[in-house]
């Protein structure tokens, strides 16, 4: 029974982490280095994550500065950002790449909020699916005689508590991201 609870917590945690990773790359009105987490650069024939080739900083709310460790990678980085479908126009300054993050209009903000809400719903469904799988596993253990009726109900309550905890975390992250997107 304890292994089922442990596996359930691990799987729900993975669902939460996936949601947080997806939400972190959604653009807000401010420059956030996490926006570039999914950019891969063709570096000497290998597809390499941008954050492994350069330091990414945000000196002010509207600018990202990408300083590559190898200055010869600047054109490849610039190309990868352009092709990354992020809506940015990188500016090559010789030894660094600058990105000016344009302000979001109201319509675009609402679209991004819808997108984040959809991601949150997918995360909630994933957590509920983990709950269903765990409950099915517990019921089969009960049928096999490994768990008594009381242990089954106690374990199902524990699974429900875990589900509530993770869904609350998703809601909290969603609310924070909504506020971030809607901040002018």
- Answer whether residue 130 shows pLDDT above 90: yes
Task: List, for residues 153-165, the tens digit of each pLDDT value.
Answer: 999 999 999 999 9
Asked: is 2-24+105-182 a CATH 3.40.50.1860 domain? The reply is no
* Fold type of domain 33-100: Gyrase A; domain 2 (3.30.1360)
Task: List, for residues 40-91, the tens digit of each pLDDT value.
Answer: 999 988 999 998 999 999 898 889 999 999 999 999 999 998 888 777 889 8
Q: Domain limits of the chain?
A: 2-24+105-182, 33-100
| 3-state SS record for the chain | CHHHHHHHHHHHHHHHHHHHHHHHCCCCCCCCHHHHHHCEEEECCEEEEHHHHEEEEEEECCEEEEEECCHHHHHHHHHHHHHCCCCCCCEECCCCEEEECCCCCHHHHHHHHHHHHHHHHHHHHHHHHHHHHHHHHHHHHHHCCCCCHHHHHHHHHHHHHHHHHHHHHHHHHHHHHHHHHHCC
């Amino acid at each position: 029974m304890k292994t089922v609870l442990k596996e359930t917590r691990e799987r729900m945690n993975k669902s939460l982490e996936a949601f947080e990773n997806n939400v972190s790359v959604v653009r807000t009105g401010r420059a956030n280095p996490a926006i570039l987490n999914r950019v891969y650069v063709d570096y000497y024939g290998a597809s390499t994550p941008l954050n492994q080739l350069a330091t990414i900083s945000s000196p002010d709310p509207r600018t990202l500065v990408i300083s590559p460790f190898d200055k010869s990678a600047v054109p490849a980085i610039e190309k990868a950002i352009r092709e990354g479908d992020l809506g940015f126009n990188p500016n090559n300054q010789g030894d660094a790449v600058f990105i000016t993050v344009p302000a979001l209009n109201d319509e675009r903000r609402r679209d991004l909020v819808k997108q984040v809400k959809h991601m949150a719903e997918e995360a909630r469904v994933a957590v509920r699916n983990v709950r269903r799988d765990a409950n099915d596993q517990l019921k089969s253990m009960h049928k096999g005689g490994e768990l008594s009726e009381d242990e089954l109900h106690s374990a199902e309550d524990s699974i429900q508590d875990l589900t509530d905890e993770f869904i609350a975390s998703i809601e909290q992250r969603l609310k924070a991201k909504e506020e971030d997107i809607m901040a002018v």
